[in-house]
Chain A
Amino acid sequence: DGGITQSPKYLFRKEGQNVTLSCEQNLNHDAMYWYRQDPGQGLRLIYYSQIVNDFQKGDIAEGYSVSREKKESFPLTVTSAQKNPTAFYLCASSIVAATDTQYFGPGTRLTVL
């Protein structure tokens, strides 16, 4: 089955730690995205990538980093510089950036202890 997988489903982080969230897609999509969702708020874009080896900052990139070394994979690292990382993180992909339907993964819930 084609789709987007995210792991882990739940993640706990101690203050001062970096953690990496995994996102993999087998849809052969060029574009991939990372969003953050907080209670009562819409999704906010962290980073996006239109093609392999290229990515751009979204609206709330501070304290996060990404890489896009393979078409299928777009991992997100939440660094210790992110002061309020507790949130629900969603990865998405589309055939081409902006003009096509976005397909979402099941999400990772990150909690800072």
Chain B
Amino acid sequence: SQKIEQNSEALNIQEGKTATLTCNYTNYSPAYLQWYRQDPGRGPVFLLLIRENEKEKRKERLKVTFDTTLKQSLFHITASQPADSATYLCVGAGSYQLTFGKGTKLSVIP
């Protein structure tokens, strides 16, 4: 079955550094990947979308890459801040059925 795997359950990083989160997909080829942020007790909030024919997408301090050869997406937060602490979800899409990874919990330490 199609899978989205986020290798790290948790990632701790010092404030000001770049956080890099990894997402791999298996058994299918999503037309696009999305990244969402989820805070405790809240619903996922959409951050970025990248299509399979795009190599890289940026939005403010966020950058996403999509490598169809490696079947991987990397999500970067530059100049990380404590307010960036949350769980980040990688989501495969191509139909209306989104396929979610379990998420990586990012903690930015002051």
Instruction: Determine if chain A interacts with chain B.
Output: no
Instruction: Write the residues of chain B forming the contact surface with A, with a CB cutoff of 8 angstroms.
Output: none
Instruction: Write the residues of chain A forming the contact surface with B, with a CB cutoff of 8 angstroms.
Output: none
